């Protein structure tokens, strides 16, 4: 069920600026808009704020928050359509597809988002596609019924039924787009992008469900289907972060244990697979993600030299060089087997030290990230519980790769709660491997003796959340 929660996270988003003071600009005429950009104007009541997630071509996620009335933001736009996520608060969000050269206004009035074109170029139906879809999802009971039925089928280990229900989830979305096209003028690029996004969502759900229910033969077939899908269909670049997750998992599944445990050899296998199975921009984005995850200086340099020999995109080659230099200079402490954490003041220590500090109390650990919508949706109830259950210490550990992004989310979402930390070595920490931290949100409980008591505890939005806490 955790993978179902990630449905709203089909995109990773990035901003062109990390400081709100830098985003004010003069609105430019349509004929002066840069070819690789779109413009968004914010229209709000006085004292109101919005947050945006946008993306550059390298898919490095960052949040623009506290945007107020009158702000005009130039945002980078990828080939085809880029998805811009907009949020009023944790429970109220929407989104919009943009093309290069678009110029739109985003308003939040009377509790609703409004997307308005400011030039003749934009397609009004396309601008409001995702806004209408969000409203549709909130009112459609078939979603709730299908997800409930899938939970039952999963418990019964009925894989045929589970995959059938994944088909039904996709069909609900296909029905929406058919109904939407009957009422709105919609360019084909919007329809194809929307449907391909959810075709991939279905394939992704199939993969993780097959993996969970232990059918290795079908897993290989599904992985091949996913690769072929990315070769034959036009897929949004933002979905590649989720594909990368599957590539890593599949190779962990099929390679011998000796190679899997040899981190350098495993990374070399991933590099070769990406280089072989993909081409063009998809390949380059996936390799950048692999470089970001690396820490071995010699290995990163070899990857970079090889990448430079075949990539035809100078921007990606330059970015790869920057990533390799930055990661190579990382403190060697990030390869430590202990679970290393950093607090908001820059202090570093291990999870073991933190748990020892609270020995005698139950510890509830919430693994989350700034980009994870299901994680953020849990936070209000979780924060209330942290005050109610005084004998339980709530610890929030972010898996963010971007420290600045974590800091901003930490301030906004957790309101500088004391026990909130950044995980520094997710890839090498022995404990993280032992609990198999694959997806988030994820919650574990350590009892008052400092022993791991619940490896997959319910989150704050789970009906069993307080029942489990009451046991401690």
- Alpha-carbon distances of 139 from 17, 28, 42, rounded to whole Å: 35, 39, 27
Classify 444 as helix, strand or coil.
strand
Classify 107 as helix, strand or coil.
strand
Mean model confidence pLDDT for the chain: 81
Q: How confident is the model at residue 110, as a pLDDT? A: 83
pLDDT in tens, 387-417: 999 889 999 999 887 787 788 888 878 877 8
Q: How confident is the model at residue 159, as a pLDDT? A: 94
pLDDT in tens, 198-222: 999 999 999 999 988 888 889 999 9
Q: Which two tokens stand for residue 79?
A: 């080939």
Just give the CATH number of 9-122: 2.60.40
Distance CA 421, CA 447 (A): 20
pLDDT in tens, 284-313: 999 998 988 776 788 889 999 999 999 999
Mean pLDDT throughout 175-184? 91
Distance CA 8, CA 376 (A): 12
Torsion, CA 398, CA 8, CA 374, CA 293, rounded to 10: -20
371 or 113: which carries more pLDDT confidence?
113
Pick the closest to residue 17 from 44, 57, 56, 47 (CA basis): 56
Mean pLDDT throughout 128-138? 84
Q: Which two tokens stand for residue 348?
A: 């570093």
Which residues have C-beta within 8 Å of that of residue 147, sequence separation ≥ 6? 1, 4, 169
Q: How confident is the model at residue 148, as a pLDDT? A: 85
- 423 beta partners: 341
Classify 386 as helix, strand or coil.
helix
Class of domain 340-470: alpha beta
- 43 beta partners: 107
48 or 11: which carries more pLDDT confidence?
48
Question: Does the structure show a pLDDT above 80 at 329?
Answer: no
Task: Detail the DSSP E strand segments found in 369-454.
Answer: 392-398, 420-423, 442-446, 452-454
Mean pLDDT throughout 233-249? 83
Q: How confident is the model at residue 34, as a pLDDT? A: 54
Distance CA 283, CA 276 (A): 9
Label residue 383 left, alpha or beta by phi (over 0 means left) and psi (-120 to 50 means alpha).
alpha
Mean pLDDT throughout 326-337? 54
Q: Which two tokens stand for residue 44?
A: 């709000």
Question: Does the structure show a pLDDT above 70 at 185?
Answer: yes
Pick the closest to residue 264 from 441, 427, 453 (CA basis): 427
Residue 467 CA to chain centroid, in angstroms? 29
- 92 beta partners: 89
In the block, which residue shows the tokens 């988003």? 13
Question: Does the structure show a pLDDT above 90 at 105?
Answer: yes
In the block, which residue shows the tokens 């229209």? 43
Q: How confident is the model at residue 327, as a pLDDT? A: 66
Pick the closest to residue 11 from 427, 373, 287 (CA basis): 373
Share above pLDDT 70 across residues of the chain, in percent, rounded to a whole number? 88
Classify 118 as helix, strand or coil.
coil
- The segment(s) of the chain belonging to CATH 3.40.30.10 are 340-470
Query: Beta strands 37-43 and 452-454: pairing type?
Result: unpaired
Q: How confident is the model at residue 311, as a pLDDT? A: 94
Question: Does the structure show a pLDDT above 60 at 22?
Answer: no
Distance CA 453, CA 445 (A): 6
- 51 beta partners: 87
Mean pLDDT throughout 318-340? 69
Q: Are 458 and 464 in contact (CB under 8 A)?
A: yes
- The segment(s) of the chain belonging to CATH 2.60.40 are 9-122
């Amino acid at each position: 069920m955790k993978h179902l929660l990630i449905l709203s996270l089909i995109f990773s988003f990035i901003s062109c600026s990390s400081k709100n003071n830098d985003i004010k600009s003069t609105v430019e005429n349509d004929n002066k808009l840069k070819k690789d950009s779109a413009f968004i104007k914010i229209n709000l009541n006085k004292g109101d704020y919005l947050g945006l997630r946008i993306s550059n071509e390298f898919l490095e996620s960052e949040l623009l928050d506290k945007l107020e009335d009158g702000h005009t933001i130039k945002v980078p736009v990828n080939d085809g359509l880029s998805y811009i996520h907009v949020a009023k608060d944790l429970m109220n969000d929407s989104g919009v597809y943009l093309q290069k050269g678009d110029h739109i206004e985003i308003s939040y009035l009377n509790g609703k988002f409004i997307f308005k074109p400011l030039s003749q170029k934009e397609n009004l139906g396309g601008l409001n596609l995702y806004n209408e879809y969000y409203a549709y999802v909130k009112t459609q009971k078939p979603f709730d019924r299908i997800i409930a039925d899938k939970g039952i089928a999963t418990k019964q280990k009925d894989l045929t039924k589970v995959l059938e229900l994944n088909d039904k989830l996709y069909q609900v979305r296909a029905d929406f787009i058919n109904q939407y096209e009957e009422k709105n003028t919609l360019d084909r690029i919007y329809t194809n992008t929307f449907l391909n996004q959810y075709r991939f969502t279905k394939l992704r759900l199939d993969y993780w469900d097959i993996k969970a229910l232990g059918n290795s033969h079908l897993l290989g077939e599904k992985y091949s289907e996913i690769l072929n899908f990315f070769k034959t269909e036009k897929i949004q670049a933002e979905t590649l972060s989720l594909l990368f997750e599957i590539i890593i998992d599949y190779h962990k599944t099929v390679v011998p244990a000796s190679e899997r445990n040899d981190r350098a050899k495993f990374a070399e296998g991933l590099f070769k697979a990406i280089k072989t199975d993909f081409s063009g921009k998809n390949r380059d984005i996936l390799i950048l993600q692999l470089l970001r995850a690396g820490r071995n200086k010699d290995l990163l340099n070899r990857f970079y030299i090889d990448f430079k020999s075949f990539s035809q995109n100078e921007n990606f080659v330059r970015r790869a060089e920057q990533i390799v230099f930055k990661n190579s200079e990382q403190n060697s402490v990030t390869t430590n087997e202990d679970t290393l954490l950093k607090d908001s003041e820059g202090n570093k220590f291990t999870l073991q030290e933190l748990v020892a500090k609270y020995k005698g109390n139950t510890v509830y650990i919430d693994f989350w990230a700034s980009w994870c919508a299901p994680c953020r949706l849990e936070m209000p109830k979780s924060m209330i519980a942290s005050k109610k259950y005084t004998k339980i210490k709530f610890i929030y550990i972010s898996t963010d790769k971007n420290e600045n992004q974590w800091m901003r989310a930490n301030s906004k979402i957790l309101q500088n709660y004391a026990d909130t930390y950044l995980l520094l070595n997710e890839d090498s920490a022995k404990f993280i491997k032992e609990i198999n931290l694959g997806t988030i949100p994820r919650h574990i409980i350590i009892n008052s003796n400092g022993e791991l008591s619940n490896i997959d505890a319910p989150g704050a939005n789970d009906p069993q959340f307080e029942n489990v806490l009451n046991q401690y």
